[in-house]
Amino acid sequence: MKKHFLLFFGLALCLASCRDNASDSIIGTWKADKVNVQFDERRNTPEVVKQIGEMEKQNSIVISADSILVFKSLDGESKGRLSLAEDGRMFVDGAQFGQWKEGTIVTQSDSPLGMVVVSYCKK
């Protein structure tokens, strides 16, 4: 009986150490790295586009081990419960937030003025 227990314990330990800890590597603080502002140039001046880009570069994301995501921007903070799909799609309180892929979080915001795509890198 003791042999079976030790065998089971050893096997469980091996499996636990071999599992993919993708959700662990997303935990931490993420800073805006690249901002791509795709606004209609007929509706906006280059100065407005530049200003929007600079504002977006101030954003950050904090993801804690208890799956709470805090999004910080110049407008304030918002937080919610994060869930991560197998394909890397990120959802906060059920709404799609962004995409996590190869160590980068990418968010996309659409508005009547155009689209803003922000890539975040872990700090």
**pLDDT digits 0-9 by tens, 33-92:** 999 999 887 788 889 889 999 999 999 999 999 999 999 999 999 999 999 999 999 999
Is residue 95's pLDDT more than 90?
yes
* CA angle centred on 69, ends 54 and 15, rounded to 5°: 125
Residue written as token pair 């950050």: 60
Closest CA to 39 of 22, 27, 24, 51: 51
d(CA 47, CA 1): 75
| Structural domains present in the chain | 22-122 (2.40.128.270)
Is residue 11's pLDDT more than 70?
no
pLDDT for res 13? 33
pLDDT for res 1? 44
B/e letters for 95-123, b = 16+ CB within 10 Å, e = fewer, are: eebbbbeeebbbbeeeeeebebbbbbebe
d(CA 25, CA 105): 12
pLDDT for res 111? 86
pLDDT for res 16? 36
Instruction: Tell me the pTM.
Output: 0.77
pLDDT for res 41? 76
